[in-house]
Amino acid sequence: MTSDESFSRMQKYLNVEDTLSQEFKTFLSTLPKIKGSFGPYGYLYEGFWYFPMILRGIVAFRRHFHPQSSDIFLITYPKSGTTWLKSLVFTIINRHRFPIEANHPLNTTNAHQLIPFLETHIYHKEENPNLDHLPFPRVFSTHIPWTTLPESIRNSSTCKIVYLCRNPKDIIVSLWHFQNKLMHDETKEMATNSILETFENFCQGVNDYGPFWRHMLDYWKQSKENPDKIYFLKYEDMKEQPSMHLRRLAKFLDCPFSSDEEESGLLEDIMKLCSFENLSNLEINKNGVLSYSGMQSSVFFRQGKTGDWKNHLSDEMVQKLINVICEDKLSGLGFN
């Protein structure tokens, strides 16, 4: 597929306005809306902002999804390391079925295809898709906030949730690059080119799935109350102490590493397979296209590092984010 064909498929995927049902349009008309920097309009639903295409998937998911007791949900705020988390969890839970060898699925398939997004993949095309073919345990991913998850998942005592969180300064920079990568000469309105605009929107919470701090805090609080159900992981910690966090993650997912596996160097092999350096250099991730969205797989790989915000955010911006947003919203809750 050429990049133009891929772009036109992606356009169709994002711009669903023409394909919305009358029922959904009526529903949208009841919601507060704001001109979006990415996409035509953002709509406020249960305290969070969404692009219509995403909201349609969320509504269908909430209406039709039935959790199974062994379901695993990988949840992130966008640009927090979703691709990495999907790669790691897929490899951990399938390590007996798919040993780390040349023909491992991650070598030929982008992680977003292996672990599908609920709202933008599974419930994007169909209102009520049949999920019977999925192997157990089923693993899904989503950016949906805690309070918008179906009650059946929130109340389940057996489903597991892994929430990956990232430094918001790096999220902003990653988001800005992502939006600009999706921008096309003819459709500049699709994305902003100014990091200041992305930054201001983020601070006001008016980007997809925003506000960030509420998204992250709700999962953090839930993880404190129910640590067997929600595992709260930080991108930066995973970078600093990968083995320790991989071990904890596998234990949380009820598939701990045996001492033989540890001694054989399996943890290091998993980290290597799922590393940014390895994945971003695979043909499938350099030139492949995601079948469900038409997006180039490469848009999910940029630097994969911590601290790039230092190259993009001014002191003033950092001060605003830390003082006004983070400390104001997070103080008193013991979140660092």
Would you tell me which residues interact with ligand PAP (CB under 6 A)? Answer: 76, 78-84, 87, 170, 174, 177, 274-276, 279, 300-304, 308
DSSP letters along 140-177, please? EEE---GGGS-HHHHT-SS-EEEEEE--HHHHHHHHHH
Cα 93 to Cα 261: distance, rounded to the nearest angstrom? 13
Residue 235 Cβ, how far from ligand PAP at the closest point, in Å?
7
Q: Considering 121, 124, 143, 215, which one is annotated as catalytic?
A: 143
Query: 123 is written with which tokens?
Result: 């419930």
Cα 160 to Cα 92: distance, rounded to the nearest angstrom? 15
Closer to ligand PAP by CB, 226 or 241: give it: 241
Closer to ligand PAP by CB, 143 or 160: give it: 143
Cα-based distances in Å from 50 to 62, 120, 165, 266: 15, 12, 19, 40
Closer to ligand PAP by CB, 76 or 198: give it: 76
Beta-strand pair 33-35/41-45: antiparallel
Non-local CB neighbours of 190 within 8 Å, separated by 6+ positions: 14, 38, 39, 179, 182, 183, 184
Residue 331 Cβ, how far from ligand PAP at the closest point, in Å?
26
Cα 62 to Cα 48: distance, rounded to the nearest angstrom? 15
CA-atom Rg of the chain in angstroms: 19
Residue 80 Cβ, how far from ligand PAP at the closest point, in Å?
5
Residue 157 Cβ, how far from ligand PAP at the closest point, in Å?
28
Residues 31, 44: contact at Cβ < 8 Å?
yes
Closer to ligand PAP by CB, 76 or 192: give it: 76
Beta-strand pair 139-142/160-165: unpaired
Cα 197 to Cα 230: distance, rounded to the nearest angstrom? 33
Cα 13 to Cα 188: distance, rounded to the nearest angstrom? 17
Closer to ligand PAP by CB, 27 or 98: give it: 98
Non-local CB neighbours of 48 within 8 Å, separated by 6+ positions: 145, 148, 209, 210, 211, 214, 215
Closer to ligand PAP by CB, 119 or 170: give it: 170
Q: Is 133 a catalytic residue?
A: no
Residue 305 Cβ, how far from ligand PAP at the closest point, in Å?
6
| Span between the terminal Cα atoms of the chain, in Å | 45
Residue 155 Cβ, how far from ligand PAP at the closest point, in Å?
26
The three-class DSSP label of residue 193 is coil
Residue 238 Cβ, how far from ligand PAP at the closest point, in Å?
8
Query: Where in 46-128 does DSSP place strands (E)?
Result: 48-50, 72-76
Closer to ligand PAP by CB, 49 or 300: give it: 300
Active-site amino acid positions = 143
